[in-house]
C-alpha cells in the first residue's frame, strides 16, 4: 500500500476509489441503510469497506474510530469538502 505525505506532515492512506465512494457517501447520509440503497450494496459490504478504511488510517498512525473522526480525516485529506455535505 502506498501513502502520500501532506504538507502538514501526516500520511494519507491509499484508499481505493470504491472505498472513497463508500466513505464519502456514508459521511453525507444519515445511515448505512441509505448508503446501501444509493450504492446498491449490502450492509456487510459497507461495513467491510469502513473496517478497511479505518485499518488503513490506523496503519498510517491516524486512527479514526468514529464517524466524526472519519469526517475529519476525509476533510483533511481532500476526499471530501464542506460543500459536499
Whether the per-residue pLDDT at 64 is higher than 60: the answer is yes
Measured distance CA(26)–CA(50) in Å, rounded: 9
Mean pLDDT of 66-74: 96
Mean of pLDDT over the chain = 90
More confident call, 9 vs 69: 69
pTM over 0.85: yes
- Summary count for the chain: helices (H), strands (E): 4, 2
More confident call, 67 vs 85: 67
**Those residues with Cβ within 8 angstroms of residue 68's Cβ, 6 or more apart along the chain or in another chain:** none
Task: Tell which CATH classification among 3.40.50.2000, 3.30.930.10, 3.40.462.20, 1.10.10.10 matches the domain 15-79.
Answer: 1.10.10.10
Could you tell me the three cell numbers for 69?
473522526
Amino acid at each position: 500500500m502506498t501513502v502520500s505525505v501532506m504538507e502538514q506532515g501526516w500520511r494519507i492512506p491509499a484508499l481505493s476509489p470504491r472505498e472513497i465512494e463508500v466513505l464519502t457517501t456514508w459521511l453525507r447520509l444519515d445511515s448505512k441503510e441509505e448508503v446501501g440503497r444509493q450504492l446498491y450494496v449490502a450492509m456487510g459490504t459497507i461495513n467491510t469497506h469502513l473496517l478497511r478504511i479505518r485499518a488503513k488510517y490506523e496503519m498510517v498512525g491516524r486512527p479514526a474510530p468514529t464517524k466524526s473522526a472519519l469526517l475529519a480525516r476525509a476533510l483533511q485529506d481532500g476526499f471530501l469538502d464542506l460543500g459536499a455535505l
